[in-house]
Chain A
Amino acid sequence: MLTLKPTQTQLAIEVSDLKKVFRKRDGLRAPVREEWALKGVSFYVREGETYGLLGPNGSGKSTLIRILSTLLTADGGTVRMLGYRLPEDEARLRRKMGRVSVDAAFYKKLSPRENLLYAAQLYGLEPRQAEKRAMQILEQLGLESRRFSDPIEEMSRGMQQKISIARALLINPPLLLLDEPTTGLDPKSRRDVQAFLEDLRAREGTTILLTTHDMAEAERLAHRIGFLAHGRLVAEGTADELKRRAGAPDLEEAFIALTGEELDEEADSP
């Protein structure tokens, strides 16, 4: 099925020919080695859409999310999000997007309350209102409020990841970048997070860019899916379209057929 590209006003993310290369040297006298993390990636995400990027470790997913998060500078191509260009408009864009990464990065000695209040103040939010909103989100995610003042280091990874999601949503961003948000979570936490994201999308119309190597998660959450391999977007479409195109019974088989490789076969890239 042909997917027509919508007009620019409907686009939350538009990435065109995005390139990123990391230059490394193994020793002072060794020649500089180039590792291409992204080799000209192009895709778009409509407002309110959830777009899943699937790929094994080292395929360029995290590099792509970092560029969109304003944490990496691209070496080529263009990025436009919510009408803003990167890197020119990064300061304005930062107010409108939240990010959850695979490692729930917090000050581990501080409590969820302290971490979230710190994040809220960074974004200029009124602390009491932010605390109220954070509590609501955490309760929706199934975190008991009595744990709100315990140090984060005493909490499970699932709990930490839920707090990370609450942090990203404190500012009620129209755009959410999720970099493997459920990797390493127990099945219940994974279901909690996925259900919450579905609810969020329905309630707020949040645009979500989700990277994952969990086929079932991509199929459940994403309207459209892109297969990323070796820094290239090899195929994209709905889950059904991708399966049909590959003549495969499931998404994993479709991934193997269309990319020529299996998930989780490579080492992490920078």
Chain B
Amino acid sequence: MLERYLRPMWAFVFRDWHLTRRYMSWVAVFVFYAIVNSATIALIGKAQDDFRLTLTLLLGVLLWSFLSAMYNEIANSISYERWEGTLEYTFMAPVSRLIHLSGVSLFAIIFSVIRTIVILVGLVLFIQVSVTGANLLGVLVVLLVASLAFMGLGLMAAILPVMSPENGAQATNIFQGILLLVSGIYYPVSVLPSWVQPLAYLSPATYALEACRKLMGINHPDSTPDKLVGAPLSSVLPELGILLLMGVVLIPLGLLVFHTAEQWAKRTGKLKRTG
């Protein structure tokens, strides 16, 4: 068990942690930028003197920061390896793709959670918004369940750079952009053009946001700027169920897509180094 599964899975966490450590100054720069960027968005609500708008924007920016960071970590893991020239060694190792991608995803989740907590602390200190009464533990549960669905999406996106190094990397960014647009991160889905709205219900971020807004008590009539009335976790079970279902479908689908593309890459010789 340890030798076959856990140690190989931990190898990816070990590798990604040491790579992150080597690029720590860049991580700090990007986190700083994320805090500033998030603050400028949340301050729009402050300027309107509207705590509900402020919290909606704050939640949107944090949730997107978490999900996009995780998606990026997974989606870019293969293109990074291809660029470094290590992809062939990883694919030659006696590690199943499930263990490989689980290891990559495990680090992505740990990294994204820590990054989001740092951004949250920075934001709360800077814009002085109260989250007293919000069900933050429930929010964390929703984030973790939503991670499964985003993991599946990341797995599908990760293989694109193997199929086409440059176009694949571009496609992962376009896909991420579409998710940002349709998921109603900063606005209700109802303001989107009618032909775009159905897409919102295909995005896991839409359900994660809806659930988190309830758990934070943003739209609860009794919430005040000093004390929010967050909903219990039981009130977001439908959203959690949909997110879980999406994860259950998207992760195996992601692995299947990855496996199919890997076999194609091995037939056509696309595992070789680029860059």
A binding-site residues for B, Cβ under 8 Å: 22-23, 63, 66, 69-73, 91-92, 94-95, 99, 101, 103, 105-110, 114, 117-119, 121-125, 151, 167, 270
Set A71, A73, A121: member contacting B91, Cβ < 8 A: A71
Does B19 sit at the interface, judged by CB under 8 A?
A: yes
B binding-site residues for A, Cβ under 8 Å: 2-4, 7-8, 10-11, 14-15, 18-19, 22-23, 84-86, 88-96, 263, 266-269, 271-273
Question: With A73-B266, A124-B3 as given contacts, are A109 and B19 in contact (CB-CB < 8 Å)?
Answer: yes
In contact, B18 and A114 (Cβ under 8 angstroms): yes
- What residues on A are CB-neighbors of B22 within 8 Å? 109-110, 151
In contact, A70 and B92 (Cβ under 8 angstroms): yes
In the bound complex, CA of A70 to CA of B267 (Å): 11
In contact, A124 and B88 (Cβ under 8 angstroms): no
In contact, A94 and B93 (Cβ under 8 angstroms): yes
- What residues on A are CB-neighbors of B11 within 8 Å? 118-119, 121-122
Question: With A94-B93, A108-B84, A122-B11 as given contacts, are A270 and B272 in contact (CB-CB < 8 Å)?
Answer: yes
In contact, A22 and B14 (Cβ under 8 angstroms): no
* Chain B residue nearest to A98 in the complex (CB): B92
Rounded to whole Å, the gap between the CB of A227 and the closest CB of chain B is 23
Q: Sample 25 A-B pairs with CB under 8 A, ordered by A number.
A: A22-B268, A66-B269, A70-B92, A72-B267, A91-B96, A92-B94, A99-B92, A101-B88, A103-B85, A105-B86, A105-B273, A106-B84, A107-B19, A109-B23, A110-B19, A110-B22, A114-B18, A119-B11, A119-B93, A121-B8, A122-B11, A122-B95, A124-B8, A151-B22, A270-B269
In the bound complex, CA of A167 to CA of B92 (Å): 13
In contact, A72 and B266 (Cβ under 8 angstroms): yes
- Given known contacts A108-B84, A121-B14, what 5 new A-B pairs fall within 8 Å (CB)? A71-B88, A71-B92, A94-B94, A124-B3, A124-B7
- What residues on B are CB-neighbors of A114 within 8 Å? 14-15, 18
In contact, B85 and A105 (Cβ under 8 angstroms): yes
- What residues on B are CB-neighbors of A107 within 8 Å? 15, 18-19, 84, 86
In the bound complex, CA of A118 to CA of B23 (Å): 18
